[in-house]
Amino acid sequence: MKLFRHGPQGAEKPGLIDASGALRDLSGVVPDIGPATLGRDFMSRLAALDAATLPLLPADTRLGPCVGAVGNVVCIGLNYADHAAEAGLKAPGQPIVFNKHNGAISGPNDSVWLAPGSQKLDWEVELGIVIGERAFHVSEADALNHVAGFCLVNDVSERAYQIEYEGQWTKGKSYPTHCPIGPWLVTPDELGDEQDVDLWLDVNGVRRQTGNTRTMIFGVKTIVSYLSRFMALQPGDVIPTGTPPGVGMGQKPPVYLTAGDVITLGGRGLGEQRQVVSEAPPAPLTRLPPEGDHTSGPAKPVPRCVLEGCPFSG
């Protein structure tokens, strides 16, 4: 399956791609694609639906982040040896782990904001893992049983904040709009071999990154198992798995994003993203609406799920 979320920012509804590639609305079946609906049992029920019976959506429907209510974005750094080399760093012996704030998450085609004073805004195309079931001390052999699917991620990074400021990388990774995810959540059976995914990224029509997940230092199963030794991964957590070479910082001389630049990126089976870099809105506007809470007035009733066993069906 390919699942997505559509509609205005902060009020996205669930959807799926049918066999013909058309967009179908799932909001009459399930309230959202998020932590409560990513487990294997629930996903199997979605897979059994007759997509032809679901309402069609316009082709130009806005696509939001493909997963809602993400609790944590746990990233893996320097996971391609050639990317480590272009950064002038030694390939790691263990996965390098850091966080992006979940407030950085945005839709696949939303604008990427240039922070006031930012001079070193960079791009990173990545394969993202979406956790479907709690993973704590899981083996590599069992790791994929805890994965709901995969998505495309642009790990947008402000290199001055990341490297030149004291402390950890999180400051350079967490500005609002600096984590576009989607367009789709692609289930493992739909994607096929997660260690054979071509990735690419262009800036203003110029190819900057080309890679394949087969050259990862640490593969998907290793990453999930490794992280589960140190934290209990939760449904809805997103794990960007590192980027191949070709980031702006690694160009000679370095090339960084400026207002008006257009980023396009994609991956085999994952779809494509397109972002235009824009100046961040004035400070009062830079607070994104909370997930599902962009309207005022009386609280709306929580939609109920029609699938048997759904946590929203009561």
Per-residue 3-state assignment (H helix, E strand, C coil) for 216-262: ECCCHHHHHHHHCCCCCECCCCEEECCCCCCCHHHCCCCCCECCCCE
- Whether the pLDDT of residue 71 is over 50: the answer is yes
Q: Is 43 helix (H, G, I), strand (E, B) or coil?
A: helix
pLDDT of res. 286: 47
Name the pLDDT band for 89 (thresholds 50, 70, 90): confident
With tokens 């839709």, the residue in question is 107
Determine contact, residues 247/86, Cβ cutoff 8 Å.
Answer: yes
- Whether the pLDDT of residue 288 is over 70: the answer is no
Residues paired with 151 in a beta bridge: 128
pLDDT of res. 294: 37
Determine contact, residues 243/234, Cβ cutoff 8 Å.
Answer: no
Least confident of 50-59, 222-231, 271-280, 289-298: 289-298
With tokens 């956790």, the residue in question is 131
For 22-61, write each residue's pLDDT tens digit: 999 999 999 999 999 999 999 999 999 999 999 999 999 9
Name the pLDDT band for 301 (thresholds 50, 70, 90): very low
* For range 307-312, the mean pLDDT: 52
- Whether the pLDDT of residue 291 is over 70: the answer is no
CA distance 94 to 226: 9
255 versus 290: the higher-pLDDT residue is 255
Q: What value does the mean pLDDT of the chain take? A: 91
* For range 126-148, the mean pLDDT: 98
* For range 134-160, the mean pLDDT: 98
* For range 68-72, the mean pLDDT: 98
- Residue 25 tokens read as 């609305």
68 versus 301: the higher-pLDDT residue is 68
- Residue 21 tokens read as 């590639």
Determine contact, residues 64/34, Cβ cutoff 8 Å.
Answer: no
CA distance 10 to 287: 12
Share of the chain above pLDDT 90, in %: 85
- Burial class from Cβ neighbours inside 10 Å (0-12, 13-18, 19+) for residue 212 reads middle
pLDDT of res. 300: 43
- Whether the pLDDT of residue 83 is over 70: the answer is yes
pLDDT of res. 82: 82
